[in-house]
Amino acid sequence: MCDAGGEADEYPSYMVIYEALHDICKEQRSIIDKGVDLAVLCSTFGALPRLTEVGLSFCEAIEDDLSPSPFTAGMATAEDSYQYHLRVVSDAIQNSRNRGAAINTISLSGFDLPYCHVWEILDLSTLLESLRKLLQSVRVLRLSYSSSPLELLSRCALDIYQLDMCCMVVKHNALQDFLQANKRSICSIGFHDVTITESSRLGSRPKLSSDILCKIMKVSPSSSCQAADCGCLPFRKEGWRMLLNGDDHPQRSET
């Protein structure tokens, strides 16, 4: 800011900023170490016995390409942060279910892992297990601005009934593998502003359509697809919903 022409004395000193951030980080660390966040969530869910849906909104993680500094030293990676929060929410949901709550819908927004170069090999197995635990006994999964869950769960059968996707860019192979793995349970797929990548058969970055879904799911075009409001934006936008008939689920059992 000083380089931009401002006077140095107009801004707080380095130590003032450092001490403020240090206090914030210390408080956050104390919350994690003492399990305060889990206790608060369990208490909140316990006070809402009729709660059926839980939504998680993820903010962009801080990326530091410089050498370790007093501000970033000891910070967890985005993967560790996602894993931790998924685990805390999962434990709170399970605690609520043990008390009789029927939380059957999970909404994830902004769940996108940082871009990794091809030579960077990340072990995401622990994050995958945390995500699978969160989605246990879930019947409806809603994703907005969140393509990473489909990539992580591409070969996992979750027994979900409904999948909603909005404002996403998703790899064709990841979407195909996920839908095939969950074909026996999925009966409803909602989508709005979903872009498909890395598919030579479909051309360059097409928008998801009922025709593409039918090909991915290997079902007849007779499967019903109708206009439907997308509720994941502040102002409702028109999306689409594909309803799969009973012939597409030969061994699916109703619950």
Identify the residue with better confidence: 41 or 118. Answer: 41
Whether 234 has a pLDDT exceeding 60, the answer reads: no
Whether 141 has a pLDDT exceeding 60, the answer reads: yes
Given a contact cutoff of 8 angstroms between Cβ atoms, the answer to whether 163 and 187 are in contact is no
Whether 150 has a pLDDT exceeding 90, the answer reads: yes
Q: Domain containing 97: what range?
A: 13-62+75-138
- Any domain includes 5: no
How many domains in the chain?
Answer: 2
Per-residue confidence (pLDDT) for residue 157, from 0 to 100: 93
Per-residue confidence (pLDDT) for residue 73, from 0 to 100: 46
Confidence of residue 149 (pLDDT cuts 50, 70, 90): very high
Q: Work out the mean pLDDT of the chain and round it to a whole number.
A: 81
Distance CA 149, CA 130 (A): 11
**In the 8-state DSSP scheme, what is residue 200?**
T
CA of 235: how far to CAs of 29, 161, 230, 232, 238, in Å?
Answer: 37, 25, 9, 8, 10
- Any domain includes 125: yes
Per-residue confidence (pLDDT) for residue 41, from 0 to 100: 94
Confidence of residue 1 (pLDDT cuts 50, 70, 90): low
- Any domain includes 70: no
End-to-end CA, the chain? 60
Q: At what angle do helices 125-134 and 78-98 cross, to 10 degrees?
A: 30
Q: Are residues 114 and 170 in the same domain?
A: no
Alpha helices for 54-205 (secondary structure H) = 78-98, 125-134, 148-152, 172-181
Q: Are residues 97 and 203 in the same domain?
A: no
Per-residue confidence (pLDDT) for residue 105, from 0 to 100: 96
Nearest to 199 by CA among 186, 187, 215, 188: 215
Alpha carbon dihedral 140, 196, 62, 132, in 10-degree steps, equals: 30
Question: In this predicted structure, which of 9-13, 97-101, 213-217, 236-240 has the lowest mean pLDDT?
Answer: 9-13
Per-residue confidence (pLDDT) for residue 254, from 0 to 100: 36
Strands 188-197 and 237-243: antiparallel
Q: Are residues 156 and 242 in the same domain?
A: yes
The per-residue pLDDT for range 171-223, each reduced to its tens digit, is 999 999 999 999 999 999 999 999 998 755 555 688 998 888 988 888 877 66
Q: Are residues 120 and 28 in the same domain?
A: yes
Per-residue confidence (pLDDT) for residue 252, from 0 to 100: 40
Per-residue confidence (pLDDT) for residue 247, from 0 to 100: 58
